[in-house]
Amino acid sequence: MSMKTQLLVLGGGPGGYSAAFRAADLGLEVTIVERYPVLGGVCLNVGCIPSKALLHVAAVIDEARHLDRAGITFGAPQIDLDRLRNYKAQVVRKLNQGLAGMAKARKVNHIQGIGKLTGPSTLAIERTEGPNGRPTGETLTLTFEQAILAAGSEPIRLPFQPQDPRVVDSTGALALPFLPKRMLVVGGGIIGLEMGTVYATLGAQVDVVEASPDLIPGADRDLVRVWEKVNGKRFAGLYRNTRTTALEAKDDGIWASFEGANAPEGAQRYDLVLVAVGRRPNGRAIGAEAAGITIDERGFIPVDAQRRTNVPHIFAIGDLAEAPMLAHKAVHEGHVAAEAAAGHKRAFDVLQIPSVAYTDPEIAWAGLTETEAKAQGRAVEVATFPWAASGRAIANGRDEGFTKLIFDAETKRIVGGAVVGVNAGELISEICLAIEMGAEVADIAHTIHPHPTLCESVGMAAEVAEGSCTDLP
């Protein structure tokens, strides 16, 4: 069987569905080819959203524990894992239904199947069925005028990783198979630490092992130090400069061996191991070569400012296109590619892409970091406002954080900024806007922020920069 479409969108994640909806709104006839029956991709189904549903639960448990110092005590949490899984599933289902409605309203056709390019204008589709996207054996050829590739990424496996249900990737960890007594998280990046936070708060003894010298690479170290201080007790062990060299499945658990000056001594037994060592783009899994599309050595598809590949009527966006692998970047690129496909003048031209670790405390940063500024030899100044001087942070019993602004030494324009503390992921947006609008420190300092709030800390950091921060909120 064969079909035709004006615009093919391969992959129904945040990049794919955003591109499809925008293109349909601009009058294109659009077909999404997605393996699974629901839209939302990794982010909605097995990434951003379910992880935040679980992190919300963990934060409430923590908050309740913090109240001890205010004279309020609760008993130990009673955890019903089935109901917790249900809560997470309901959150995801609600958003799945919303996306299905949006696709229907725009007459975006969703074909459930696995697509592989077979030429510059043809896609072979192996039809799939059911929630697990099982192949049915039925095939279909789709001819397209233009295409937006949004096939995302896959978790990287360790070469010695055993096939065992007790060794999971982020998708397996989000499924909450059971509550382990001892858990190992291999990889101290954002995903590993977020999932580690959830399991540790639910009662597991969690060790985190990171091969590089730093947890959360990419963020300035002063932010991570605050996180480490708060989390020293939550995690059983945080091991940097430590390589996991073997994982062996035995009847009594998964035995892990390590290498490194600070590594745990001898093989350690764990009930559950999460491997979170990064993700690989799906560039080589979608037949891109058959369409003449260039793929780089890491599996990313290089694109221009409109997100066109070297084959001009085919675009690539999201995790497939380049780092950082973040949903908000994918959505933004989806809009750019869709508008370009519809003939509009639009380019991906951003000054910052924010990153957030939704841990406790959260760490968020945008634009240039201090570390990058130093490496580039760029003359910047940094102003920091400690939350120990924030009335709201103190009232919340969470004043360990700080907010910093990084600005050009000459023009005083904001070029970067970061927040560590509760809700940092919400607070970073003002800094994102300031960077994109070319705001100067004075613009933020002279903006009245509501009192008493945590967002006031952005204004106070600007006042520190101006030398006018005399009143403590």
Q: Can you read off the two tokens belonging to residue 278?
A: 């990064």
Q: Choose which of 117, 206, 272, 327 interacts with ligand FAD (CB under 6 A).
A: 327
Should residue 316 be labelled a site residue for ligand FAD when binding is judged by CB under 6 A?
no
- Residue placing its CB nearer to ligand FAD in the complex, 68 or 304: 304
Please give the residues from 410 up to 439 whose contact with ligand FAD meets the rule CB under 6 A. none
**Is 319 assigned a ligand-binding role in the annotation?**
yes
Provide the minimum distance between the beta carbon of 451 and ligand FAD in the complex, in angstroms, as a whole number: 30
Q: Is 328 known to sit in a ligand binding site?
A: yes
DSSP reduced 3-state for 401: coil
Cβ(181)–Cβ(271) below 8 Å: yes
Asked if 31 touches ligand FAD (CB under 6 A), the answer is no
Q: Assess 219 for contact with ligand FAD (CB under 6 A).
A: no
Nearer to ligand FAD, 221 or 328 (CB): 328
Quick one: 44 or 382, whose CB is closer to ligand FAD?
44
* Among the listed residues 158, 114, 121, the one whose alpha carbon sits nearest the alpha carbon of residue 136: 114
The answer to whether 437 is annotated as binding is no
CB of 176 to ligand FAD, least distance (A): 13
- Give the nearer residue to ligand FAD in terms of CB position, either 11 or 253: 11
Among left, alpha and beta (phi > 0; psi -120 to 50; other), residue 60 is alpha
Question: Which letter, b or e, does each residue of 340-352 get, where b requires 16 or more Cβ atoms within 10 Å of its Cβ?
Answer: bbbeeebebeeeb
Burial pattern 117-145, b for ≥16 Cβ within 10 A else e, equals beeebbbbbebbeeeeeeeeeeebebebe
What is the contact mask toward ligand FAD in residues 121 to 150, using x (rule: CB under 6 A)?
Answer: -----------------------------x
The reply to whether 330 sits near ligand FAD by the rule CB under 6 A is yes
- How far apart are CB 409 and ligand FAD at their closest, in Å? 31
- Is residue 336 at the binding interface for ligand FAD, with CB under 6 A as the rule? no
Residues 6 or more apart whose CB falls under 8 angstroms from that of 159 comprise none
252 is annotated as contributing to ligand binding:
no
Give yes or no for residue 114 binding ligand FAD (CB under 6 A): yes
The single residue among 92, 115, 146, 272 that binds ligand FAD, judged by CB under 6 A, is 115
Q: Closest distance between ligand FAD and the C-beta of residue 398, in Å?
A: 21
Query: What is the C-alpha separation between 31 and 46, in angstroms, rounded?
Result: 23
CA-based radius of gyration for the chain: 24
Our answer to whether residue 56 is catalytic in this structure is: no
401 is in an annotated binding site: no
> Partners of 244 in the beta sheet?
258
Question: Which of the stretches 29-37, 207-215, 257-265, 266-274 binds ligand FAD when contact is defined by CB under 6 A?
Answer: 29-37
Burial of 436 (0-12, 13-18, 19+ CB in 10 A): middle
Query: Is the CB of residue 166 less than 8 Å from the CB of residue 272?
Result: yes
- 106-115 burial code (b ≥16 CB/10 A, e <16): eebbbbbbbb
Site string for ligand FAD, 51-80 (x = CB under 6 A): x-----------------------------
Instruction: List phi, psi (to 5°) of 258.
Output: -135, 165
Find the part of the chain contacting ligand FAD (CB under 6 A) among 28-36, 81-89, 378-386, 431-439: 28-36
SS3 131: coil
Looking at the annotation, which residues are catalytic? 451
Contact residues: ligand FAD, CB under 6 A: 10-16, 33-36, 41-43, 47-48, 51, 114-115, 150-153, 170, 191, 282, 286, 318-320, 325-328, 330, 358
Residues flagged as binding site:
52, 115, 187-194, 210, 278, 319, 325-328
